[in-house]
Structure 1
């Protein structure tokens, strides 16, 4: 058994994928202790309790300040963990045993490790979103749906539950408190693609995450004006920009052995994703002006907390130096 805890925050309104998830958890629980933190309604919670394998611990979400229910699920699971090393994963993440062991092992010299997700299988909308992944890899790193963290870094104070980009918030919180944050861009973990309906519903919400990264947001807001200017003045310039986007995405595909998991055609989807983001970035700004992005039965105004604010909060705590070349960009 891997000396670690696997925490899966769950909040489902229907159980169409339950059988497949149960099958995965049955295999997973043979490798590592598994805790499912379930924020589903009473009927779904009872159904999950009956369906989950005997070796999987099933807990309700404990109250936590903020409107982001996933944060409450993560904090509940981390605090209840029976091990110092904790793997947090969304319900669509699918580990192999070797990747899971390698990820936990990298906590030997880190406080948080972020592996690289890739979609499997690859319907067209997953290929579209892979363009985003490759551009992120070329410019910095991609934010996955799974992390490994030391329990002692989060159990006492947790992290802000009133932000949308909760993975970034967790990484920044650990870094601000002096933790070492490592981007494991060469460690690949499968992720099941969403349905097309879910994919379509996430376009503006994902763009809203960029409000936590002002430089990125500014670049994304420039995309649409540049495209419109190109349509009016020089369509050849648009072709040149599309070729540049493909070349940049291809650099991300080849980085850290990415050719093993990203098909050769993946980079060709980058221009389409950039155009989408150029439109959705403006829609996200409009939603911010209206009070925030819709989340559950309310709105979340903040995408994330600036790192300088978190550092100020933790200024009296000791800090460790980040390993050269291995710190995740936050």
Structure 2
């Protein structure tokens, strides 16, 4: 948006790339973004790739290496580095596939007048088959609660005051939300603020199925429900009428999420029809995630991670211990 005023925010973008195939698209986005916000890219890539990124981006944004923060989750280490070095109290954290327009960026920042952490709604653009498949997850989340996006707006001082959040957790967004709540912060969901994100490759999408199912270890009730799908379908295998009703219920629930708060403006009419496929995937992958837990955790890069996210009570205890030690 030409002529839009510079927002009083820090846009923190952690990257840790093994390939630069999306670099041209991200560079074009950073070129637009720098007119709207102060941008810091925290780069945990290998030295040669870091140097190539510095050459491409240093004239556009602030490009810095990731600090030596301990933890297996590189994204959390990048976020914490960016938060610590931010020049503004209001910060927007975003994955490298997120693509804000000015209106959405201004909207989430404005919400920080009332909230400590703001979560908008991501949607895939463009929509190859696997993005349509994964969109069903967002619709079901919207129908019953809220989705977990790849971007948040937050108040820097609150997260710093909490001592950051655990970089050894897999479901880092849930861990961050619970950390903010644990110190009395207010989390505000804005499912009507739509922020585009680029879909992954189909290969990367397929590689994430069990890892994403493992996130449900951070929400035990959800894990129980997801794990119950497969035995329920097996028990009803000779009752096609009951299975048909379950199928329709899943589609209707996803359609409820699609229609909520102007969802049809970004979610195509066919989106809810993909919901049974996503549920079938999660029914299988939840058991694979249980198996991974028994083996010590799910694979994440070079590590095997056991903890998806801590409870708010455990986070409060951790914050209390660290405060007492200071």
- TM-score strictly above 0.5: yes
The answer on 1:213 being equivalent to 2:219 is yes
Unaligned ranges ≥5, structure 1:
318-330
Q: Return 306-315 or 96-105, whichever deviates more.
A: 306-315
The answer on 1:306 being equivalent to 2:311 is yes
Corresponding residue for residue 292 of structure 2: 287
What does residue range 1-330 of structure 1 map to in structure 2 within 5 Å? 1-52=6-57, 54-156=59-161, 157-231=163-237, 233-314=238-319
Distance (whole Å) between structure 2 residues aligned to residue 309 and residue 252 of structure 1: 32
Corresponding residue for residue 322 of structure 1: none
| 1:154-207 deviations in Å (ceiling 9; x for gaps) | 234111011000011001001001111111111110011110000000000000
Distance (whole Å) between structure 1 residues aligned to residue 100 and residue 269 of structure 2: 23
| 1:284-311 deviations in Å (ceiling 9; x for gaps) | 0000100100011120000000112223
Cα contact 1:131–1:270 (8 A) shared by 2: yes
| 1:4-39 deviations in Å (ceiling 9; x for gaps) | 000000000010110110010011001100000000
| 1:25-62 deviations in Å (ceiling 9; x for gaps) | 01100110000000000010000000115130001000
SS at 1:264 equivalent: coil
SS at 1:251 equivalent: helix
Distance (whole Å) between structure 1 residues aligned to residue 111 and residue 59 of structure 2: 29
Report the TM-score, using the length of structure 1 for normalisation: 0.94
Task: Show structure 1 runs of 4+ deviating over 6 A.
Answer: none
SS at 2:36 equivalent: coil
Report the TM-score, using the length of structure 2 for normalisation: 0.95
Distance (whole Å) between structure 2 residues aligned to residue 227 and residue 200 of structure 1: 23
Cα contact 1:6–1:87 (8 A) shared by 2: yes
Distance (whole Å) between structure 2 residues aligned to residue 27 and residue 53 of structure 1: 15
| 1:97-116 deviations in Å (ceiling 9; x for gaps) | 11101110100011100000
Distance (whole Å) between structure 1 residues aligned to residue 321 and residue 180 of structure 2: 14
Q: How many pairs were matched up? A: 316
